[in-house]
Amino acid sequence: MEEILFDYISKYMPLLEEEKEAIIGLDVFKFYKKGAVLLREGDYSADGYFVLKGCIRSYYLIDGEERTTAIYTESHSFSPLSITSGKPSAHYVACVEDSMLIVANVSMEQKMFERFPRIESLCRILSEEMLTFNQASFDDFKLSTPEQRYLNVLETRPDLLQRVPQYQLASYLGITPQSLSRLRKRIVQGASDQSRVG
């Protein structure tokens, strides 16, 4: 499992042996079963997550209904708002699949940064990258219709269609499960009409 992490990091900077050993020594590699809840509404958590393998999602419980807002898969990271704002979490985070995650809290990170400043540089670079990527995703969401959002997922994250239940994917796209079902039928129908014409 460590190798997945080190391969990913090597795209940014190759880690030294002692840096790798220090990371392994931290005992941050955790396995969770599908359905496990990592964060609950009201929690004050200091733990951030990085997905090595698996799928986790963030959802809000509104009038008894789950509303999924974010889905994290391999190489995605997530930190709760409570770490920076001091406010309790407004949402839940749970595993959509059996997942292997890195779970690191703030004080653990701080000690690591003091010992290995290069790891702090790495975290800065990763945060800046996620920030611009998230802003672009937010822009896309604002500018697109539900159909365009679905087609965008089909193009950029097609695995989600197999990995995530329909009702979770629907609220992630900002629509009802019924709308998603109609939309999928329309797209499949459109594609088969086109193949008949072509």
Q: Is the dihedral of CA 41, 42, 43, 48 positive or negative?
A: positive
- Comparing CB distances to its own copies, the nearer of 43 and 98 is 43
Strand runs labelled E in the chain: 29-32, 37-39, 47-53, 56-62, 65-72, 77-78, 92-95, 99-105
**Which of 45, 73, 99, 171 is the binder for its own copies (CB under 8 A)?**
171
- Comparing CB distances to its own copies, the nearer of 157 and 185 is 157
Please state whether beta strands 47-53 and 29-32 pair in parallel, antiparallel, or not at all (unpaired). Answer: unpaired
Interface map 69-88 toward its own copies (x if CB under 8 A): xx-------xxxx-xxx---
Q: Does residue 61 touch its own copies according to CB under 8 A?
A: no
Q: Does residue 166 touch its own copies according to CB under 8 A?
A: no
| Structure tokens given for 75 | 């190489």
Q: Does residue 120 touch its own copies according to CB under 8 A?
A: yes
Q: What angle do CA 24, 120, 103 make, to 5 degrees?
A: 45
Helices 17-25 and 106-115: crossing angle in degrees, nearest 10, is: 160
Give the nearest distance from C-beta 128 to its own copies in angstroms.
Answer: 5
**Which of 134, 166, 176, 181 is the binder for its own copies (CB under 8 A)?**
134
Give the nearest distance from C-beta 94 to its own copies in angstroms.
Answer: 15
